[in-house]
Each structure stands twice: as structure tokens, then as C-alpha cells.
Amino acid sequence: MESLDRLRDAILNGDADTARTLTEQALAAGVDPLTLVNQYMIPAMAETGRRFECNEFFVPELLIAARAMKAALSLVRPLLAASGVPPVARVVLGTVRGDLHDIGKNLVGAMLEGNGFEVIDLGVNVPPERFVETAREKGAKIVAMSALLTTTMPAMRTTIELLQASGLRPAVKVLVGGAPVTPRFASEIGADGYSDNAVGAVAEARRVLAA
């Protein structure tokens, strides 16, 4: 759809107003919100990353693309999260210590909410202690961590070790994800579940609760 290719370009070019307007128009025309996210918004961010790697884009371009992505996503997120079902379980969610990337984490949160989970979103740069304290205080059944930098992935292992030391494991299950995270890494650090996308994160949350 031509107008939706323009949405991808608007995000890529950091044009938040156009991205918002095109998203509004697409939703009003009945386009499925998840199609918008998966076929136009996420590919725009992937292309942003590719240009960054080739030195065609620098941090300012990443920032304005992220701002446009968030503007578009803010319209879609409530639709993904809309649900009248009582909570399946409480999930403590966050991007790990040292890491400020939150777009993927926010999508995971919206999909979990949309599927009946209660999500306590701790935001970005979350220290391991905070994940553990919040899980204990709120009686969460799942700690869900996102990392986008190879340098911040080790904070996932530290958080799992702290959960173990605090006596909360194995009652609190751990889900991990984010672009550099692999199934192998997830298994090495002792995570219970892993997904490379937000829809899969919901399936994994259900699976680990049933295990």
C-alpha cells in the first residue's frame, strides 16, 4: 500500500507528524494494528540500524527516527493492549542496566497487556536489584528483560543470579529478548524463555507459566 510505504519513510526520515497522521489514517481505514507494526514500523527501524552501521546515519538520526516511531506507536499501543480479561499473571518488565533502548520493550509490554497480563514496566536502565525487589514486592510471576546492546546483555545474567540468591527462583520465571539475545545465550544464563519478537514473547510467557 503506497500510503503505508510513506509511513515507513516518515519514520526513517524522523518526520513524527507525518508518521502520526499516516498511522491515524491507516487505523481509520481499518488496517490491522499489528500489520502496521510488523510490516512498516519495525522495518523502518531495521533500515535505520542498517544506515547507522554504514555510517549513513548517526545518533541524531537514530534519535529522531525513534521519536517518529514512538509517535506512531503511541496510537497503536492502546489497540494492542485493549483487553477486558482479568490478569493472567503479573510481569515485571524492563530494559536492563546501561541500556536506553525501549521501543521493542514497549511493544512486548503492549502485547503482554493485550493478552491479559498485568505489566509493571520499570522503564530503561533498570538495575538487577530493582527487578528483584519489584518482583518480590509485587508478587510477580515473571521477570521480563530486554537488551539491545551486546554490552548490556550480561546484566540479564546478573539479574538471574540475584533472583536465585534472593530465593525467588524458580517461582519467578525469567523471559529475555532483544536483538542481540540468542536462544543459546538465554539458555546459558538460565532464562526460562526467549523470543525474538513481541508476539512470541506472549507465547513464551504462557509456556513458562504452564511449565
Residues of the shown chain interacting with ligand B1M in the complex, contacts defined by CB under 6 A: 42, 45-46, 48-49, 52-53, 59, 62-63, 66, 98-105, 107-108, 144-146, 148-150, 175-180, 195-198, 201
Shortest separation between residue 86's beta carbon and ligand B1M, angstroms: 22
- Estimate the crossing angle of helix 42-53 against helix 59-81, to 10 degrees: 160
Q: How far is CA 110 from the centre of its chain?
A: 8
Comparison of 49 and 116: residue with beta carbon closer to ligand B1M = 49
Comparison of 31 and 71: residue with beta carbon closer to ligand B1M = 71
CA-based nearest residue to 208, from 127, 121, 117, 105: 117
Shortest separation between residue 184's beta carbon and ligand B1M, angstroms: 15
Shortest separation between residue 136's beta carbon and ligand B1M, angstroms: 19
Comparison of 29 and 104: residue with beta carbon closer to ligand B1M = 104
Q: Which residue is nearest to ligand B1M (CB)?
A: 104
Cα–Cα distance for residue pair 72/82, rounded to 1 Å = 17
Residue that is written with C-alpha cell 540468591 in the block? 165
Comparison of 26 and 72: residue with beta carbon closer to ligand B1M = 72
Sorted by sequence, the CB contacts under 8 Å of residue 176 that are 6+ apart come out as 144, 145, 146, 147, 156, 185, 186, 189, 191, 193, 194
